[in-house]
Amino acid sequence: QSPLLDVRNLEKVYHLNSGLLQRIARQPALNLRAVDKVSFSVNAGETLGLIGESGCGKSTLARTVLRLHEPTSGSITFDGRDITKLPHREMTALRRRMQIIFQDPYASLNPRKSVEEIVGLPLSLHRIAQRSEIRDRVVAMLESVGLKSSHLGRFPHQFSGGQRQRIGIARALILNPSFVVCDEPVSALDVSVQAQIIALLGSLKRELGLTYLFISHDIGVIGHVSDRIAVMYLGDIVEIGPARELLRAPQHPYTRALLSAVPQIDAGPKRERVKLSGDLPSPLAPPPGCKFHTRCPFAVERCRQETPALRKVAGQGMVACHLEQA
Ligand code: SF4
Ligand code: MG
């Protein structure tokens, strides 16, 4: 089976302070390597969970994959087609099949547009439905996300946070995409509402045959929704593998630290707790060698010198760490 999405050595660097300011103040240009040569794939029908602290590059990675941000280098293959340099017009057309659900539905919904306009807009932009059909399709879509036709004329502020996220989901799915990035879709919601939205995303996935790249900083959420999990730290994927395996026997010290922060719910062997020390280093000046060495309780001299590559370990996972048992 070939993956629906295949990403190789993807890199996204922002050049900060490179223009006028640099010439005037003679500041050296700063390079922010938000995504540092990341490789992974997502198979059709699966959910790949992407976890990491805020600022680790998860959202940038997702947006670069969709070419909402342009990649600096590397390649993106979607459904067998290299889309890394696809011209914008074709990319716009392809975006029917690649959609995104945002974290904060309030910020991403136009407050002056009605639900009918918001959810129907992609249909008219892509010219795939006649005016007369749009309303019917919007109503059908609203019903599948748990809203009603009586909501058509209402505006975003008239809805609760959970309902607004349902509108965001309807807008993303109305074009019938096959691949959907869910970027922290429940992080802005109350815990009780989170469960409803997660359940909704799960049933829509089954009904519509969707493939998800699901981003969250919450290991509980990621553990619940994912078939496989990728762990990100300062622009790198440091561990990736089947969810059950990774949750039961996390290998990378960072993954172990993330899991140590939540109560162990599985029946696997009792895990030794790994405590994170210090703050996330600035992505503008990541530590040399293993970027995690400044916070890793197991770091040795080699970790400060040599960057560990992602390598296969026991089971199906891959991990980037010099430790023998990792
Ligand atoms: Fe820790 Fe070294 Fe492994 Fe990095 S390579 S995670 S510093 S043990
Ligand atoms: Mg984010």
Q: Which ligand is nearest to the CA of 55?
A: 2
What is the per-residue pLDDT for 183? 96
What is the per-residue pLDDT for 23? 65
Radius of gyration of the chain (CA): 21
How many domains would you assign to the chain? Answer: 1
Q: Is residue 210 a part of any domain in this protein?
A: yes
Q: Is residue 112 a part of any domain in this protein?
A: no
Rounded Cα gap, residues 199 and 220, in angstroms = 14
Q: Is residue 167 a part of any domain in this protein?
A: no
Under 8 Å CB-to-CB from 110, ≥6 apart: which residues?
Answer: 117, 118, 156
64 CA to middle of ligand 1, Å?
27
Output the domain CATH number for residue 296. Answer: 3.40.50.300
Q: Is residue 183 a part of any domain in this protein?
A: yes
Q: Is residue 24 a part of any domain in this protein?
A: yes
190 CA to middle of ligand 2, Å?
18
311 CA to middle of ligand 1, Å?
13
Q: Which ligand is nearest to the CA of 303?
A: 1
What is the per-residue pLDDT for 201? 98
Rounded Cα gap, residues 74 and 7, in angstroms = 8
24 CA to middle of ligand 2, Å?
33
Q: Which ligand is nearest to the CA of 184?
A: 2
- In sequence order, the β-bridge partners of residue 75 are 8
Total residues found in the chain within this entry: 326
pLDDT by residue for the chain (326 residues), tens digit each?
689 999 999 999 998 766 666 666 666 678 899 999 999 999 999 999 999 998 899 999 999 999 999 999 999 999 999 999 999 999 999 999 999 999 887 788 999 999 999 999 999 988 888 888 999 999 999 999 999 999 999 999 999 999 999 999 999 999 999 999 999 999 989 999 999 999 999 999 999 999 999 999 999 999 999 999 999 999 999 999 999 999 999 999 999 999 988 776 665 667 778 888 888 898 889 999 999 999 999 999 999 999 999 999 888 999 999 997 76
pLDDT tens digits along 111-160: 999 999 999 999 998 888 888 899 999 999 999 999 999 999 999 999 99
**What residues are in contact with ligand 1 under a 6 Å CB criterion?**
252-253, 290, 292-293, 296, 298-299, 303, 308, 321-323
Q: In what order do the strands lie in the sheet with 211-216?
A: 98-101, 179-183, 211-216, 47-51, 228-233, 236-242, 318-319, 311-312
Rounded Cα gap, residues 67 and 82, in angstroms = 12
Q: Which atom of ligand 1 is nearest to the CA of 253?
A: 6
Q: In what order do the strands lie in the sheet with 81-82?
A: 30-42, 5-16, 73-78, 81-82
Q: Is residue 165 a part of any domain in this protein?
A: no
**Dihedral (Cα; 95, 188, 282, 247), 10-degree rounding:** -90
Q: Which ligand is nearest to the CA of 181?
A: 2
168 CA to middle of ligand 2, Å?
16
Q: Is residue 166 a part of any domain in this protein?
A: no
What is the per-residue pLDDT for 131? 83
Range of the domain at 252: 5-97+177-319
pLDDT tens digits along 40-75: 999 999 999 999 998 899 999 999 999 999 999 999
Q: Which atom of ligand 1 is nearest to the CA of 296?
A: 1
Output the pTM of the full model. Answer: 0.93
Is residue 48 classed exposed, middle or buried when 0-12, 13-18 and 19+ CB atoms within 10 A define those classes?
Answer: buried
Residue from 236, 251, 298, 313 whose mutation best tests the ligand 1 pocket (most atoms within 8 A of CB): 298
- Residue 101's closest CA among 172, 161, 154? 172
Q: Which residue has the tokens 């306009």?
A: 117
Q: Is residue 69 a part of any domain in this protein?
A: yes
* Residue 184, token pair as written in the block: 């922290």
Write the residue with the smallest CA distance to atom 5 of ligand 1. Answer: 321
What is the per-residue pLDDT for 161? 93
Burial 269-282, CB ≥16 within 10 A → b, else e: eeeeebebeeebbe
